[in-house]
Amino acid sequence: MARRRSLRLSTRVTLFFGALALLGGVGLTVATYFFARNSLLDQHETNARADAIRHAEQLNDALITDPDDVSRTLFELDIEPDGFAVLMTQPRQLQSRIGFDEENFPAELRESVTRGQSGQQQFVDDDGTPYLGVGISLQAFGVGYLEAFPLDTTERTLQVLATALTVGSILATIVAVFFGWSTSRRLLRPLSRVADAAGEFATGSLETRLDDENDPDLNRLAGSFNEMADSVQQRIEREQRFASDVSHELRSPITALTAAVEVLDARREELPDRAQQALDVVVGQVRRFDDMVIDLLELSRLEAGSQDLHTEPADLVELCDRVSHRYGHGDLPIEVHRRAHRRAMVDRVRFERILGNLLDNATHHGGGPTRITIEPGSERQTVLIAVEDSGPGVAAGERTRIFERFARGSAARNRIGTGLGLALVAEHAAALGGTAWVEEAPGGGARFVVQLPTVSA
């Protein structure tokens, strides 16, 4: 089952800040809106009730002093412009606004006033306009007073408040997201430096170290990384010195042993058949051991950087042809792509070592080389030099490992060789600023490819 890919830490931090601000903003918006709404409505109801009582008292006084002039008094009341009032008298009712009568008020409120009680109730007229209706009973005269106070202004105020709070919440969320993004970048920047340093260290830059940090916690991380890097560098250098020292110390006895074996081999006719067979085994193994020591010394010099790079312009086709003749493949075809660079800046010694090892590898493990190709590289100012063979090829799971020291593919485990040839190819290619890999050849077999820059680094 494939592991589900999670979000990056910086993305999670940013989303956390954004979600936190959004939840806080929504909660604050809802609480503020309902608090303001209740406060405004309570205040409006209090003022409306006071105005209605005041107006009812004025009508009550008019009924006492001049009952016939009540209608004029009703029209002279300071009722809100969009509001209206009704005086329920028998046998007719008086209205302060044409087209509005007691039927516009809720039946429950009218019945309450008819029973001699006062009350208030919100309602909406036929046009959808919200009102607050206040009813007062003038029991001395057996009439009721109804007044409607418009709530559209209050509703508009609440809508403006809700819009402002919503916009504020959105802006707060955007600011929080930006703050979370900038904070995560600032907090993760030291970790990015550690990751970059670890990547450089992994690619062979053993001198890579982290600078001290101002923060004590981050400084501890930098110190731990530097201590780890020092320890790993010391171990790698110690192992390199050990391999170099062992190879160097073995060089003298191997040389003496090789000379002695060559003397015996020159007088092999004086030995019995069984001794000659044993001598053949010894000669083969001593020569293989000598080649291995030479390769180990060469690898040690490459890792120590003691071999200088001497680049010069060269014709790759002529260089490949000369190396092919030297390794016994004078008739090997060399195919050049029409867009490939024929001339390039290369180190001739290293190039001959790379191509020679690839030819030897194809001879010993691939059934023999079939052709050399020169093609344009996948990057600008690069060229591909490939050696193809007719062998069984290299399994996909082994294509990276076979460039390691003493690594052998499954098809070459019982064959001769030091196991260092392809490792030298990879090291020389890296020293020239290139890379080496293996892939399947178009006609079957293996295709060993080296990509090199065409200009001097």
- Alpha carbons 206 and 212: distance in angstroms, whole number: 18
Angle at Cα 101 formed by Cα 95 and Cα 106, nearest 5°?
A: 135
Average pLDDT, the chain: 81
Q: What is the pLDDT of residue 139?
A: 79
Lowest mean pLDDT among 104-108, 151-155, 295-299: 295-299
For residues 304 and 452, the model is more confident at 452
pLDDT surpassing 50 at residue 2: no
Q: Closest Cα partner for 123 from 135, 138, 113? A: 135
Report, as an integer, the average pLDDT of 38-49.
88
Minimum mean pLDDT range among 32-41, 146-155, 198-207, 392-401: 198-207
Give the phi and the psi of residue 249 in degrees, each rounded to 5: -70, -30
**What is the CATH code of the structural domain delimited by 216-304?**
1.10.287.130
Indicate yes or no: pTM above 0.85: no
SS3 383: strand
306 has pLDDT over 60: no
Please state the rounded mean pLDDT for residues 17-44. Answer: 86
**Helix crossing, 9-65 with 152-202: angle to 10°?**
170
CA 19 to chain centre: 20
Q: With contact defined as beta carbons under 8 Å apart, do 371 and 317 qualify?
A: no
Q: Any idea what DSSP says for residue 214? A: S
Give the Cα separation of 114 and 118 in Å (integer).
9
Q: Give the residue-averaged pLDDT of 207-236.
A: 79
Q: How far apart are CA 442 and CA 156, in angstroms?
A: 78
At residue 298, the pLDDT reads 64
Reported as a pLDDT band with limits 50, 70 and 90, residue 88 is: confident
Indicate left, alpha or beta for 124 from its phi (over 0: left) and psi (-120 to 50: alpha).
beta
Give pLDDT tens digits for 287-303. Answer: 776 666 666 666 666 66
Structure tokens at 293: 């020591």
> Is 256 in a helix, a strand, or coil?
helix
pLDDT band for 24, please (50, 70, 90 cuts). Answer: confident
Residues 365-370, mean pLDDT to the nearest whole number: 87
**What CATH superfamily classification does 9-156 receive?**
PAS domain (3.30.450.20)
- Domain boundaries along the sequence of the chain: 9-156, 216-304, 312-453
pLDDT above 50 for 457: no
- Among 141-145, 160-164, 195-199, 289-293, the minimum mean pLDDT is found in 289-293
Measured between alpha carbons, how far is 436 from 353 in angstroms, rounded to an integer?
A: 13
Q: What is the DSSP letter of 145?
A: E
What's residue 22's pLDDT? 83
Q: Has residue 3 got a pLDDT over 60? A: no
Residue with tokens 């907090």: 187
Q: Is the pLDDT of residue 72 over 80?
A: yes
Q: Judge whether residue 371 has pLDDT over 90.
A: yes
3-state secondary structure of 122: strand
State residue 1's pLDDT score: 44
56 in Cβ contact with 136 (< 8 Å): yes
Contact between 292 and 310 under an 8 Å Cβ cutoff? The reply is: no
Q: Is 17 helix (H, G, I), strand (E, B) or coil?
A: helix
- Inter-residue contact 226 to 210 (CB < 8 Å): yes
Phi-psi region of 419 (alpha: psi -120 to 50; beta: other; left: phi over 0): left
DSSP 261-323: HHHHHHTGGGS-HHHHHHHHHHHHHHHHHHHHHHHHHHHHHHHHT-SPP--EEEEHHHHHHHH
Flag whether pLDDT at 325 surpasses 60.
yes
C-alpha distance across the termini of the chain, in Å? 45
Question: Is residue 305's pLDDT more than 60?
Answer: no
Give the dihedral of Cα atoms 66, 70, 72, 75; nearest 10 deg.
Answer: 150
Assigned CATH topology for domain 312-453: Heat Shock Protein 90 (3.30.565)
What is the average per-residue pLDDT within 184-206? Answer: 77
Phi, psi (rounded to 5 degrees) for 233: -60, -45
State CA 273 to chain mean position distance.
71
